[in-house]
Amino acid sequence: MSRLDQIVDLEKRFLLSTYNRYPVAFERGKGVFLYDFEGRKYLDFVAGLGVNALGHAHPRIVKAIREQAARVIHLSNLYYNEYQGQLAERLCQLSGLDRVFFSNSGTEAMEGAIKLARLAGHKTAGDAKSQLVALHGSYHGRTFGSMSLTGQEKYRKGFEPLLENVTFVEQNNVAALHAAVNANTCAIVLEPIFGEGGILECSEEFLLACRTLADHYQAALIFDEIQCGLGRTGKIFAFQSFGVVPDIVTIAKPIAAGLPLGAFLSKEHFATTISPGQHGTTFGGGPLACRVGLEYLAIVEQERLLENVDRVGGYLHQQLQELVAKYAATREARGRGFIQGLVLDIPARPLVEQALAEGVLFNATQDTVLRFLPPFLLQEKHVDKGIKVLKKLLGKKRKKTHNVAEAATASL
């Protein structure tokens, strides 16, 4: 029995069957590459679903973890540690928001954000101010609060009853937004760029309307930047490219370079509605994760990784657009920086499996979207390798090459 077969067999017997994994197990990684148990090398365009922004085994992260693990890993939130405040300060400087709560995951960051918005709503206008407005097609996580805000039937079905008072609006439909938001709204919740939902951006006009309505009705504007935030768009926060500042923003995936850490950041007005005892966590904000979070932000800055995301992301987008112009099975290239999607006319998963056999890792979402969430270290030569494999797998060329504008129109 191969090592992979042993691993698969054991999981089949002892794990809840919640994942539809690809047939590969990895032993280690270095930079933008992963290695399986036979020593085969894979180029990584997935980065652990956007978590491994610094790639694998970054020497500074390894060093910080080693040092801190030898000093203290966990203390609980009964006591102070030297890193939680420092990481909060840095996140506030970078975002312009005022206060931070640390969780262990994205979905928990969402739960905290909803709780804060409900508290503030009740304080402003009584218990009736509890309605949440979210978007169709969104993804916010798997716990009851965030699942209730997730506008996709497949994630909600079977788990009802969910959180009450959630209204869904179509992304970028300003009229529908106006119809949904009222004096009982305590929060408007959205991803500025849908990640799992297929790399779909909110328009600036729509985000601006959200901002105006939230201000008018004293509701919290909550941005879920768990996937698009912390550098993936080429800015530390995605909202910084859209010119609309939220009241609360949630982050998680890359912040502690693979250790579990999430957070929500809040403006003072909302933050001050919560008192000791009303929210908390055992693990969140521990010294190890927060020290690594500080190191993550320092590395992104000192290695000028956002410039790399901008430049190589632009190159990737251009290469994907060329595929759309040439290959019959492609429809549209979407996204920016290192959060991009290639919309196909065919199911994406078989393509991901074939690419795996070619030594390149892609991700499939929404059945027909190939998603690219590479490490920030990715270079042009890696893009070339990925595109070469895609060209091989996409097969038939279009009858006559037509330009990207035509392809984009055809997909509408």
Ligand X SMILES: *Cc1c(COP(=O)(O)O)cnc(C)c1O
HSE toward the beta carbon, residue 194, CA cutoff 13 A:
25
**Which of the ranges 5-13, 25-33, 114-122, 189-197 carries the binding residues for ligand X, by CB under 6 A?**
189-197
What is the nearest approach in angstroms of ligand X to the Cβ of residue 262? 6
HSE toward the beta carbon, residue 386, CA cutoff 13 A:
30
Residue nearest to ligand X (CB): 106
Whichever of 134 and 306 has its CB closer to ligand X, that residue is 134
C-alpha torsion angle, residues 363, 365, 371, 375 (rounded to 10) = -60
Per CB under 6 A, 191 contacts ligand X: yes
Beta pairing class for 131-135 and 166-169? parallel
Options 33, 45, 139, 338; binder of ligand X; rule CB under 6 A: 139
Whichever of 292 and 329 has its CB closer to ligand X, that residue is 292
Options 31, 55, 106, 151; binder of ligand X; rule CB under 6 A: 106
Three-state SS at 369: strand
| Secondary structure letter of residue 364 according to DSSP | E
Instruction: Find the DSSP H helices in 219-267.
Output: 239-242
What is the nearest approach in angstroms of ligand X to the Cβ of residue 105? 4
Three-state SS at 397: strand
Options 133, 221, 226, 389; binder of ligand X; rule CB under 6 A: 226
**Which of the ranges 53-61, 199-207, 221-229, 236-244 carries the binding residues for ligand X, by CB under 6 A?**
221-229
Three-state SS at 190: strand
Whichever of 321 and 363 has its CB closer to ligand X, that residue is 363
Whichever of 190 and 393 has its CB closer to ligand X, that residue is 190
Q: Mask: binding to ligand X, 142-181, rule CB under 6 A, as x and -?
A: ----------------------------------------
Spatial separation of the C-alpha atoms in residues 231 and 236, rounded to whole Å: 4
Cβ burial of 5 (10 Å; 0-12, 13-18, 19+) is exposed
Per CB under 6 A, 140 contacts ligand X: yes
Q: Mask: binding to ligand X, 52-91, rule CB under 6 A, as x and -?
A: ----------------------------------------
Q: Mask: binding to ligand X, 248-287, rule CB under 6 A, as x and -?
A: ----x-----------------------------------
Spatial separation of the C-alpha atoms in residues 133 and 122, rounded to whole Å: 16
**346-373 CB burial, b ≥16 within 10 A, e <16:** eebbebbeebbeeebbbbbbbebbbbbb
Contact footprint for ligand X (CB under 6 A): 105-107, 139-141, 191, 195-196, 224, 226-227, 252
